[in-house]
Amino acid sequence: MSEGPTSRELTLSFSVGLAKSEAFPLLLRELTDGLHRLGIEAQLVAGGAVVHRGSSIGSVTEREDGGSVRLTWQSAPWSDSAPLKIALQCSGEGTGSRITLEVQGCERPIGDGGPELLGWLATSFLAPALHSLAPSTFGDWLTDRRARRPAGPWSEETYRDPKFHWPNFLLILDRLPLGREDRLLEVGCGGGAFLRRALESGCSAVAIDHSPEMVRTARSLNRTAVEGGRADIREGEADRLPVPDEEFSCVVSTGAFGFFPDPEAVLREMHRALRPGGRLAIFSATSALRGTPACPEPMASRTHFYDDEELREMAARAGFASVEVEQPTLRRYAEEAGIPPEAMALFEGGGGAQLLLARRPS
Ligand SMILES: C[S@@+](CC[C@H](N)C(=O)[O-])C[C@H]1O[C@@H](n2cnc3c(N)ncnc32)[C@H](O)[C@@H]1O
């Protein structure tokens, strides 16, 4: 913050190891996605609008593809202060880039350039920034980014074709054969790879994920089925499934159950979504995989593992019948999926994989 007669200026700058031509578009994409998660829809193009919960809060006054975007952030309806001016710039620095954020006029909505501005800076801006640097916050961020709410180029590419999840997918489809008459609901669909394979049966499907980036990836991977009306991929939470009662003949979830904060609420939702007699299959990992390459830190300590009995009881309490939980061996499916021999040990023997099968009573 620098003292100035008319406007205080906030400047923040950091360097990244990416050439400017790569860094700038990626920054704008990540920023757009990050704002979306916070309820702000921003079109970071010249003249683009910024909308927060349905109300316009700003606009893009200038965008240079070479590396800068300037925005004005409207004043609050209760304030007659001038809009904030925000500039985001990316400039080349050696083989990498330097990103700079400049904000002018932070004191305006507060109406005080002294202690109140300092209070805002410390509590609303710096404290969350320092919190983001705490070790456990990095662990939470990495867990979300890679698995619990995947986002970013690595996850988008990985979950389009998650090589090491294919044995799980093949097992599920073996135990829960699908046909043209089936209407499938998948919960936690990631990049839509299981969905794509399931649709080969001729079934129709709805898939849900709470990561907007995964929804986008799954829609692009299943474009033909989505455009043909045979698949619908929706952003939503597993414990509040955005689907009507009793619509589905089967529900599947794979690789997601251990991340649900309230698994019983999810099971009740799955039960609600199933027709009477409908089938359920949930694939997850047991605690034997905690800390292995299949479930490394920081994910491992942020994943819930359930023993078979616990899972059986939860499903029964949610109203399911014919509940079976097993720890199948995946070797056969790993061979079929083309897992390389050096990684085969991960799929040998039982004890790591856990499969719950159940039915909604007729
Ligand atoms: C490890 S990924 C597995 C993705 C995919 N099923 C697969 O096996 O490749 C877990 C997925 O579950 C989703 N997920 C986790 N918790 C969720 C929740 N509460 N509601 C909806 N989706 C959730 C994540 O966003 C992520 O896409």
105 CB less than 6 Å from ligand 1? no
Quick one: residue 239, left, alpha or beta (phi over 0 = left, psi -120 to 50 = alpha)?
alpha
Residue ranges covered by each domain of the chain: 9-113, 152-359
Indicate the top mutation candidate among 37, 157, 194, 210 to test ligand 1's pocket, ranked by most ligand atoms within 8 A of CB.
210
**C-alpha 214 to ligand 1 mean position (Å):** 8
Please spell the DSSP secondary structure of 32-92, one letter per residue. Answer: HHHHHHTTEEE--STT-EEEETTEEEEEEEEEETTTEEEEEEPPPTT--PPPEEEEEEEEE
**What H or E segment, with its residue span, contains residue 265?**
helix 263-273
The sign of the dihedral angle between the CA atoms of 91, 94, 96, 100 is negative
168 CA: nearest ligand 1 atom: 8
Least confident of 195-199, 223-227, 323-327, 348-352: 348-352
**What H or E segment, with its residue span, contains residue 213?**
helix 212-221
pLDDT, residue 349, reads: 75
Tell me if 146 sits within 8 A of 299, measured CB to CB. yes
pLDDT in tens, 229-242: 999 999 999 999 99
Q: What dotted CATH number matches 152-359?
A: 3.40.50.150
Joined together, the tokens standing for residue 229 give: 């009306």
Contacts 24+ apart (CB under 8 A), 109-112: 109/75, 109/76, 109/79, 109/81, 109/84, 111/79, 111/81
Indicate the top mutation candidate among 144, 157, 159 to test ligand 1's pocket, ranked by most ligand atoms within 8 A of CB.
159
pLDDT, residue 5, reads: 46
User: What is the rounded average pLDDT of the residues 124-130?
Assistant: 96
Q: Which of 196, 192, 186, 198 is nearest to 159 (CA)?
A: 192
- Residue 251: pLDDT over 90: yes
- Axis-axis angle for helices 152-160, 212-221 (nearest 10): 40
Please state, in angstroms and rounded to a whole number, the distance separating the CA atoms of residues 257 and 286: 11
pLDDT, residue 112, reads: 87
Tell me if 217 sits within 8 A of 226, measured CB to CB. no
42 CB less than 6 Å from ligand 1? no
- Residue 2: pLDDT over 50: no
Joined together, the tokens standing for residue 278 give: 């409908």
The class that CATH gives domain 9-113 is alpha beta
CA distances from 280 to 101, 164, 259 (A): 49, 22, 18
**C-alpha 248 to ligand 1 mean position (Å):** 19
198 CB less than 6 Å from ligand 1? no
Using DSSP, state whether 237 is helix, strand or coil: strand
Please state, in angstroms and rounded to a whole number, the distance separating the CA atoms of residues 19 and 93: 8
pLDDT, residue 6, reads: 57
Nearest CA to ligand 1 atom 12: 188
Nearest CA to ligand 1 atom 1: 147
pLDDT, residue 1, reads: 43
Indicate the top mutation candidate among 33, 149, 257, 303 to test ligand 1's pocket, ranked by most ligand atoms within 8 A of CB.
149
159 CA: nearest ligand 1 atom: 9
Strand partners, 251: 185, 280
**C-alpha 258 to ligand 1 mean position (Å):** 9
150 CB less than 6 Å from ligand 1? yes
**C-alpha 216 to ligand 1 mean position (Å):** 13
165 CA: nearest ligand 1 atom: 8
Indicate the top mutation candidate among 211, 262, 299 to test ligand 1's pocket, ranked by most ligand atoms within 8 A of CB.
211
Pairing state between β 84-93 and 68-73:
antiparallel
Nearest CA to ligand 1 atom 2: 147
User: Phi then psi for 186, rounded to 5 degrees?
Assistant: -110, 135
pLDDT, residue 78, reads: 83
Give the DSSP letter of residue 126.
I
pLDDT in tens, 185-212: 999 999 999 999 999 999 999 999 999 9
Are the folds of 9-113 and 152-359 the same? no
Measured in whole angstroms, how far is the alpha carbon of residue 41 from the centre of its chain? 17
190 CB less than 6 Å from ligand 1? yes
Q: Which amino acid is at 288?
A: A
pLDDT, residue 350, reads: 74
Nearest CA to ligand 1 atom 11: 188
Joined together, the tokens standing for residue 240 give: 């509040």
pLDDT in tens, 292-337: 988 999 999 999 999 999 999 999 999 999 999 999 999 999 999 9
pLDDT in tens, 67-118: 999 999 998 888 888 889 999 999 999 999 999 999 998 888 888 889 999 9
**C-alpha 189 to ligand 1 mean position (Å):** 6
Length of the chain, in residues: 362
149 CB less than 6 Å from ligand 1? yes
Could you give the angle at the alpha carbon of 332 between the alpha carbons of 327 and 334, nearest 5°?
Answer: 90
The pTM (predicted TM-score) of the whole model is 0.92
**C-alpha 219 to ligand 1 mean position (Å):** 15
**C-alpha 280 to ligand 1 mean position (Å):** 17
Tell me if 329 sits within 8 A of 350, measured CB to CB. yes
pLDDT in tens, 49-71: 999 999 999 999 999 988 999 99
Strand partners, 237: 240
Mean pLDDT for all residues in the chain: 94
- Residue 255: pLDDT over 60: yes
Please state, in angstroms and rounded to a whole number, the distance separating the CA atoms of residues 36 and 51: 10
